[in-house]
Amino acid sequence: MCQPGGPDPRHRRAPGDDGARSSSPPATIDARCNALGVHDAQEPVNPYTVCKAAGVARRILGDENTMQAFAYSRPASVTAAAAAAAENAKIIAGGQSLLPSMRLGLAAPEALIDLSAIAELKGITAAGDTVRIGAMTTHAEVAASAAVRQAIPALAELAGHIGDRQVRHRGTLGGSVANNDPAACYPAAVLGLGATVHTNRRDIAADDFFLGLYTTALAEDELITAVSFPVPARAGWQKCKQPASRFSLVGVFVSQGPQGTRVAVTGAGAGGVFRVPALEAALAADWSAAACLGVTVAADNLNTDLHASAAYRAALIPVLAGRAVG
Ligand SMILES: Cc1cc2nc3c(=O)[nH]c(=O)nc-3n(C[C@H](O)[C@H](O)[C@H](O)COP(=O)(O)OP(=O)(O)OC[C@H]3O[C@@H](n4cnc5c(N)ncnc54)[C@H](O)[C@@H]3O)c2cc1C
C-alpha cells in the first residue's frame, strides 16, 4: 500500500540477520538496548521510540511495576471536572494513550479525572454547514455515524481505521486531539478541514491549536468539549499505516471548502501535524492526483526512524495526497 518506490533499502536486514535476538546477555547498557531493538541516539523522538525506550529501561532495570497509586474521580459535569483539575491531576477519556503511558512510567499523575460520566461531552450534531462532535465521542461512534458519513465521509473513514476495534470503542476524539501524538490520525482531519476546537473556556482555530510534539494550545486545566468541522465540498484521507500499531507512518487529509484548499500531514513531521502549502496551491489550481504528483516535498524536518526514512516519508506525501483526491 505504501509504495512510492518500494521499501526503503536502508531497512532491509543484512544477509544472515534473521532478526532473532541473541541469547547471550550483552555487556553494556548500550549493547543491551541494541540487542533489544532500540535504535541509536540519532533516532528522533516519536511515540514508538519513547514507548520502546521506556519498556526497555524497565526490562533493564528489572522494574516491572511502574504504575503509581492515584486518586480517582468521575464528575458529572464539565464545570465539576474543571474544578477538579489541579496540578498533578490528569483528565482521562478513553485511556488508550494515557494508561499505556502510566504503565510505562512515562506519566505518573496523582489524580485521574474521568470524563466518561459527562453526557454533555458526547454526541454528534450536524447542522447547516457544520458537524459538531463531542470530545467524549468514540472513534467507533464517529465511524458509524450516518450524519458524519453523509456530510464528511473522509472523516468517518479516518475514524474507522484508527487502531483496532478495542481502541476505536474506547478512544475519543477529544483524547486524540488533546494528546497530539505526532502519528495520530485526527489531528490531520482537524487541521485539514480547518476545524474549531471548543474548550470549557474558548474556541481555538485548528491553525492555532497544534503547537508541536504532544503540545497544544490547551492550558493545563483546560478541557476540550467538542470539535466543529466545517462541511467541505470535497475531502479525502489516506494513510500508510505502521503495521503493528496502525498509527500513521504517513497520513494525508485533503479538503476543499469554506476553509479553502487544505492538505494536512500526520506521521511524518518532526514537529507533529503540518500543512503543505505547495500541495494546497497545486490542488487549488487543479483538484487531481496528477497535480499532487507534480509536487516535490522536501525531506527536511521529516522523521527518520526504524520504520521509514525522511526521504521515504517525503516521497509518500504527494502519492497519498493524490490517492486521497481520488
Ligand atoms: C494499540 C493502539 C493503536 C492505536 N492506533 C491509533 C491509530 O491508528 N491512529 C490514531 O490516531 N490513534 C491511535 N491510537 C490512539 C487512540 O486513538 C487513542 O484513543 C487516542 O490517542 C487518545 O484518546 P483517549 O480518549 O484514549 O485519550 P486518553 O488516553 O484518555 O487521554 C490522552 C491525553 O489527552 C488528555 N485528554 C483526554 N481527553 C481530554 C479532553 N476532553 N480535554 C483535554 N484533555 C484531554 C488526557 O489528559 C491525556 O493527556 C492507538 C492506541 C493504541 C493503544
Q: Which residue type does 101 have?
A: S
CA of 313 to the centre of ligand 1 (A): 24
Bridge partners of 93, per DSSP, are: none
Instruction: Give the residues surrounding ligand 1 with Cβ less than 6 Å away.
Output: 90-98, 100, 115, 135, 162-163, 167, 170-172, 174-176, 178-179, 181, 184-186, 218, 223-224, 245-247
What is the share, in percent, of the chain residues with pLDDT greater than 90?
74
Say whether 116 sits in a helix, a strand or coil: coil
- Helices then strands (H, E): number in the chain? 14, 14
> Cell 540477520 identifies what position?
17
> Cell 489541579 identifies what position?
86
Q: Which residue type does 38 have?
A: V
Please write the tens of the pLDDT for every residue from 83-119. 998 778 999 999 999 999 999 889 999 999 999 999 9
**Do residues 135 and 121 make contact, with C-beta atoms less than 8 angstroms apart?**
yes
Cell of residue 263, nine digits? 492538505
Please write the tens of the pLDDT for every residue from 261-313. 999 999 999 999 999 999 999 999 999 999 999 999 999 999 999 999 999 99
Q: What secondary structure letter does DSSP report for 16?
A: T
Residue 198 has pLDDT above 90, yes or no: yes
CA of 274 to the centre of ligand 1 (A): 19
Tell me the pTM: 0.85
Domains, the chain, ordered by start: 71-114 (3.30.43.10), 122-325 (3.30.465.10)
Q: What is the pLDDT of residue 8?
A: 35
Q: What is the pLDDT of residue 145?
A: 98
> Cell 464545570 identifies what position?
79
Q: What is the pLDDT of residue 55?
A: 54
Angle at 107 between CA 98 and CA 228, to 5 degrees: 40
